């Protein structure tokens, strides 16, 4: 069997050809034209899917199904992205448009973090855990919440928007236009902003030399911190604290067995996971008396979204 999973992100759209076991056979990506009308973005996705099929030596008609994960409120049943704050989807009937463009029937869609959670539950770190919360740290922050073996998505699958949980009153501006949301502290967009602020305030910091040498991105702070730079360490510790506060808030509501941390930043591994584990263990309600909560990096890494999206079409 052959499936194509599409992970729609604020910066790039990634598509992977998979088998029925969630193995990715090949991957391609394009830049997200995030401010274009949603229909144009869907046209880009259709072209990408065709390209992936062709590179895999297949006609689109040979694909057993296409699954998509998108940021925002997705009406899974209707196949419509109702709203996304970081990409210009507004009541976009993605499934209908793609069925037409691709000429295949089995096209499914869900929220991107729900897809990541599905991928990890079926093939990754969430296997065997009836209760897990997958948190994807990227342009936005997404949460896929599994309770008693089922994804919790709320009415019309509009819920489970953990990135928009209020962490601060006032506070930094979120991609959705409101202030103080978890995403405004814990997304990679927020980490970049926190790093840039520190670079301006501390021109002597290794952050500036690292950025000059290899370009400025999400890794800048991790590299400078590994070099022992005090300012970078402070930025990183603060960022990890923000993520930790969010995790503890989710823990106190859902009490998962495991938190699965996804998104590109999960590649940083123990630098991120070890302090997060410590913070959650120390700060969750009733920590000494309740079962421990594990914090792990997504086993499927940044591919969790693609694999989970493909898994939508396997059902």
Between CA 169 and CA 166 the distance in angstroms is 7
Contact pattern for ligand BGC over residues 245 through 284, marking x by CB under 6 A: ----------------------------------------
Residues 47 to 86 in contact with ligand BGC, rule: CB under 6 A = 71-72, 85-86
**Binding map of ligand BGC across residues 81-100, x = CB under 6 A, - = no contact:** ----xx--------------
Q: Which is nearer to ligand BGC, 46 or 158 (CB)?
A: 158
> Which range, of 35-43, 106-114, 217-225, 282-290, touches ligand BGC by CB under 6 A?
106-114
Candidates 183, 229, 268, 303: give the one binding ligand BGC (CB under 6 A).
183
Residue 228 burial class via C-beta count within 10 angstroms: exposed 0-12, middle 13-18, buried 19 and up: exposed
Q: Which is nearer to ligand BGC, 63 or 68 (CB)?
A: 68
Q: Is the CB of 29 or the CB of 106 nearer to ligand BGC?
A: 29
Between 56 and 159, CB nearer to ligand BGC:
159
Parallel/antiparallel/unpaired status of strands 12-18 and 73-75: unpaired
Closest by Cα among 145, 52, 127, 72 to 300:
127
Would you tell me how many other CB atoms lie within 10 Å of the CB of residue 203?
8
Find the shortest distance in angstroms from Cβ 140 to ligand BGC: 2
- Using CB positions, name the residue nearest to ligand BGC: 140
Distances (CA, A) of 34 to 70, 194, 218: 12, 23, 20
Q: Which residues, listed in sequence order, are joined to residue 63 by a DSSP beta bridge?
A: none
The least distance separating ligand BGC from the CB of residue 254, rounded to whole angstroms, comes to: 16
Q: How far apart are CA 155 and CA 223, in angstroms?
A: 42
Residue 70's H or E segment, with its range, is strand 65-70
Q: How many CB atoms lie within 10 A of CB 97?
A: 19
Within 10 Å of residue 87's Cβ, how many Cβ atoms? 27
| # binding residues, ligand BGC (CB under 6 A) | 17
180 binds ligand BGC (CB under 6 A): no
Q: How far apart are the first and last CA of the chain?
A: 12
Scan residues 109-168 and list those touching ligand BGC (CB under 6 A).
Answer: 111-113, 136, 138, 140-142, 161, 163-164
- Nearest approach, Cβ of residue 282 and ligand BGC (Å): 27
Q: How far apart are CA 141 and CA 164, in angstroms?
A: 8
Residues that bind ligand BGC in the complex, under the rule CB under 6 A: 71-72, 85-86, 111-113, 136, 138, 140-142, 161, 163-164, 175, 183
């Amino acid at each position: 069997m052959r499936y194509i999973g599409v992970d729609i992100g604020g910066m790039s759209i990634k598509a992977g050809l998979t088998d029925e076991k969630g193995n990715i056979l090949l991957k391609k990506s394009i830049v997200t034209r995030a401010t274009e009308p949603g229909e144009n973005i869907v046209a880009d996705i259709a072209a990408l899917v065709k390209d992936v099929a062709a590179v895999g030596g297949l006609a689109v008609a040979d694909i057993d199904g296409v699954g998509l994960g998108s940021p925002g409120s997705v009406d899974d049943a209707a196949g419509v992205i109702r709203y996304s704050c970081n990409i210009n989807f507004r009541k976009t009937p993605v499934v209908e448009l793609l069925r037409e463009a691709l000429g295949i029937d089995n096209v499914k869609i869900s929220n991107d973090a729900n897809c990541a959670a599905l991928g990890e539950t079926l093939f990754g770190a969430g296997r065997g855990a009836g209760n897990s919360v997958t948190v994807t740290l990227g342009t936005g922050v997404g949460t896929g919440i599994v309770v008693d073996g089922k994804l919790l998505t709320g009415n019309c699958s509009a819920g489970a928007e953990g990135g928009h949980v209020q962490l601060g009153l006032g506070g930094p501006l979120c991609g959705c236009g409101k202030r103080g949301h978890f995403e405004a502290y814990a997304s990679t967009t927020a980490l970049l902003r926190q790093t840039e602020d520190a670079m301006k305030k501390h021109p002597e910091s290794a952050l500036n030399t690292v950025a000059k040498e290899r370009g400025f991105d999400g890794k800048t702070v991790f590299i400078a911190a590994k070099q022992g730079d005090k300012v970078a360490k402070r930025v990183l510790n603060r960022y990890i604290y923000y993520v930790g506060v969010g995790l503890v808030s989710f823990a106190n509501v859902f009490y998962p067995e495991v938190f699965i941390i996804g998104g590109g930043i999960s590649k940083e591994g123990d630098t991120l996971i070890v302090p997060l584990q410590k913070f959650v263990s120390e700060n969750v309600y009733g920590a000494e008396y309740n079962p421990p909560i594990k914090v792990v990096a997504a086993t499927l890494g940044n591919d969790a979204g693609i694999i989970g999206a493909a898994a939508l079409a396997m059902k």
